[in-house]
Structures are given as C-alpha cells and as structure tokens.
Amino acid sequence: MKKSTTLEVIASLLIFFFAYTALSSYYNMASLRNLLAFYTAHTTQVAWLMVATEVALALLLLFRKTRLVGLVASLCLLLYAGSFWFEYRSYPHDFGGVFNELSYKQQLTLLSILLLLSVTGIVLHLLKAKPNTNAKAVTVSY
C-alpha cells in the first residue's frame, strides 16, 4: 500500500474515532457530566471542553494542510488519556463513544492501538514530506 494511502486510512480511522466520541458525548452530555463528578467540580465546563477538543482534532485531521498538527495533537491527547487511565485506575472511564462499551483492559488496548496509529501517521507524514535529496539540481539560465 502506498504511504499516502496508508496515511489517508490512518487519518480516517482517527477522524472516525474522535467524531464518534464527540457526537456520542454530545448526545449523552448529562451522563458524561455524571461521570466527570468523580474527577472535577466543574463538570459542565470540562464536558464541553472535551467535546470541543474532539471536534477540533477531527477537523485538524480532515484537511491535509493541518493533518500533521492533528496527528501530533491526537498523540498528545492519547498519551494524556493513557496516563489518566493509570492514575485513576479505579474510577469509571466512560468518556463517550466506544469507551462506554469496553472493559478497563479493552479500553487500554484501544488506547494503545490509537497511539500506534498516531505515531505511524506522524512518521509517514514526515517521510512523505521529506525532500528527495537524490534529485539532481536544475539550473535555469536566462
């Protein structure tokens, strides 16, 4: 499979994940606020911030010009989420979307897969953007 096609597939999978999580969280906002009561007193603000972040990530990944930023941002968010999972192991982690249906171990597996996709996406994007050093210099004289 070509690098660009692989990158397209990775970006699309991440877009699907973030868009689905954002929409699911938006539709079930009250449930998300009930969950966030474990973590913060500012449940409404944090809930909206989560939805806005997920939408922003999906949009960044959608356009080719901002895709690298989107991939790095997803990596950062997923790393943060991963550390959160370990730090608050005994709290519920129903942060919307697919996560609401998975057990703790399955959630960690999904996070690992998404992390791997983000890292692969970043590497492929950088390889794709790397200029071809073997190309011969062309001199144009007028």
Q: Could you give the string, one character per residue 110-139, with x where binding to other proteins holds by CB under 8 A and - elsewhere?
A: ------------------------------
Of 45, 49, 91, 127, the residue at the interface with other proteins (CB under 8 A) is: 91
Site for other proteins in 3-32 (CB under 8 A): 8-9, 11-13, 15-16, 19-20, 23-24, 27-28, 30-31
- C-alpha span between 106 and 117 (Å, rounded): 17
- C-alpha span between 80 and 96 (Å, rounded): 16
Residue 103 vs 133, nearer CB to other proteins = 103
Residue 49 touches other proteins, criterion: CB under 8 A: no
- C-alpha span between 25 and 27 (Å, rounded): 6
Measured CA to CA in angstroms, residue 41 lies from 26, 47, 95 at distances of 19, 11, 16
